[in-house]
Structure 1
Amino acid sequence: MVFLVFLVVSIAVVVLVMRAAERSGGAGGPGLGAPQAPRRPRPPRSTRPLAPDDDPDFLRELERRAKRDDGSPA
């Protein structure tokens, strides 16, 4: 029985402390801690082809090799 009372009181204390911190702007809220530096924009991603069949240079080279090997277009 004593353990149950202690458990309920402990939970109540934790809830009250969390509410008090929330009202005062604590726990990462504004006004507590160092100001954050603005985020740097990400550099643009390169526009290189994702796969060989997306690369026009690769396709041209492949077609050139096929013509050279067969004598006829693939």
Structure 2
Amino acid sequence: MIWLFALIGVITVGFLLWRAFGPGSRPAPPRVIAPDDDPEFLRELDRRRPLDP
């Protein structure tokens, strides 16, 4: 009977460690957008562009 409790304890501790340190525990790194892919940057270019006479 003690082996059953030990097995349940080992499985529980393993599961908790996996949830704490496994895949998906770290947030994704921020996504870097190149200037030519950033819609806000492109809108700002249109505003800054001098009007052609």
TM-score (norm 2): 0.43
Larger Rg: 1
Choose between structure 1 and 2 for higher RCO, CA contacts under 8 A separated by at least 6 residues: 2
TM-score (norm 1): 0.34
